[in-house]
Amino acid sequence: MSLFETRHAPIDDPAGEMPAGSSAAISIRGVSKVYGHAGNAVHALDNVSLDIANGEFVCLLGTSGCGKSTLLNLIAGLDRPTKGDTEVRGGRTTLMFQESALFPWLTVRGNIELPLKLRKLSKDHRRQVVAQLLELVHLTAFAKKLPHELSGGMRQRVSLARALAQQAEVLLMDEPFGALDAMTRDVLHDEIERLWRDTGLTIVFVTHNVREAVRLGDRVVLLSSRPGRVAADWHVDIPRPRRIESHSVADLSAEIMGSLREEVRRHGTV
């Protein structure tokens, strides 16, 4: 039994203009999100439109206050837009958080098993799937550990396995590696890339780290800050597997960093 059916490969669409409806896993149309009321209202997102193809790995990049996390919440259906709409046609979504958000009372196994339990899978079936997922994130030996007994990187891998246990087709990741050391992050980049390649998941990955975005994404979408808008959109055609320290990654990162800095300067007072 295989955990993931093979899905079709990501559609080659260098122009980024896919025919509406046919292959977009996620469609975001004219989405605005305002918090608070007139007077002290905060425009977190302003008229954001974005199409994400099936199987695409998209990195959302921006400084703080650009509404990256807001956008993810909207896609995940945890929040409603003030205006516009988001549509997910690519299947179920799941969200992986900045902190691991693992349940501290459950072991590694218990955490991964819970989404399966909630979906009423039989005990045997659950055991099989959990074993596969543990294998996938290299944590078989740690199945009986509790979250607080693990390192940050291990916790995020459990979190990833738990997200995968929801058997969603769309994986939303909110700065998942933000709190990790560089070495662990590098290894997890390799892991997530391998996993994405093997499963055909659509991934939306929020980060404020430019190199991370270029290292991972098919596309890097730069959001402007206050209000959040799509400021720029790069297609990354550096061949995979990529290394974060490679020249090609560094070159594109420098270009994107330039735009990001421009974006930051816009908010300065000098």
Partner 1 sequence: MALFESGGGSSAQLLDAEVSGLDALDLPVPPRPTRGARVWAAAWPKLLAIAIAIFAWQVVVWSGWKEQSVLPGPRKVFPAFVDDWGTIWPASQTTLLRLGQGFAISLVLGMTLGALVARNKVLRAALGSMISGLQTMPSIAWFPLAIVLFGLKESAILFVVVLGAAPSIANGLIGGIDHIQPILLRAGRVMGARRWKEFRYVILPAALPSFVGGLKQAWAFAWRSLLAGEVVVLIANKPSLGHQLQVDKDNIAYPSMMAVMIAILVIGILIDSFIFSRAERAIRKRYGLIDEATQ
Q: Which is nearer to partner 1, 142 or 234 (CB)?
A: 142
CA angle (212, 87, 102) in 5-degree steps: 50
CB of 120 to partner 1, least distance (A): 10
CB of 268 to partner 1, least distance (A): 33
| φ, ψ at 141 (rounded to 5°) | -70, -15
- Which 225-254 residues touch partner 1, going by CB under 8 A? 241, 243, 246
Q: How many residues interact with partner 1 (rule CB under 8 A)?
A: 38
CB of 113 to partner 1, least distance (A): 11
- Nearest Cα to Cα of residue 73 among 115, 37, 45, 42: 45
Q: Which is nearer to partner 1, 171 or 231 (CB)?
A: 171
- Nearest Cα to Cα of residue 70 among 104, 111, 114, 35: 35
Residue window 141-180: x/- pattern of binding to partner 1, with contact defined by CB under 8 A: -x---xxxxxx-xx-------x---x--------------
CA distance 142 to 161: 13
Residue window 83-112: x/- pattern of binding to partner 1, with contact defined by CB under 8 A: -----------xx-x-x-xxxxxx------
- Which 251-270 residues touch partner 1, going by CB under 8 A? none
For position 49 contacting partner 1 by CB under 8 A, the verdict is no
Q: Which is nearer to partner 1, 9 or 118 (CB)?
A: 118
Q: Which is nearer to partner 1, 87 or 190 (CB)?
A: 190
Q: Which is nearer to partner 1, 181 or 262 (CB)?
A: 181
Supply the angle between the helices 123-136 and 152-165 in degrees, to the nearest 10.
140
Secondary structure class of 31 (helix, strand, coil): strand
- Nearest Cα to Cα of residue 210 among 172, 266, 259, 247: 259
Q: Which is nearer to partner 1, 115 or 227 (CB)?
A: 115
Single-letter amino acid code for the residue at 260: L
Decide if 92 contacts 258 (C-beta within 8 A): no
CB of 114 to partner 1, least distance (A): 6
Residue with the two structure tokens 């977009």:
24
Structure token digits, residue 174:
């909110």
For position 118 contacting partner 1 by CB under 8 A, the verdict is yes
- Nearest Cα to Cα of residue 160 among 117, 124, 203: 203
Q: Which is nearer to partner 1, 10 or 147 (CB)?
A: 147
Task: List the one residue from 18, 143, 187, 257 that touches partner 1 (CB under 8 A).
Answer: 187
Peptide bond just before 81 cis, omega within 30 deg: no
Residue 76: in which H helix or E strand, if any? helix 68-76
CA distance 80 to 43: 14
- Which 50-69 residues touch partner 1, going by CB under 8 A? none
Footprint on this chain of partner 1 (rule: CB under 8 A): 76, 78, 94-95, 97, 99, 101-106, 114-115, 117-119, 138, 142, 146-151, 153-154, 162, 166, 183-184, 187, 190-191, 194, 241, 243, 246
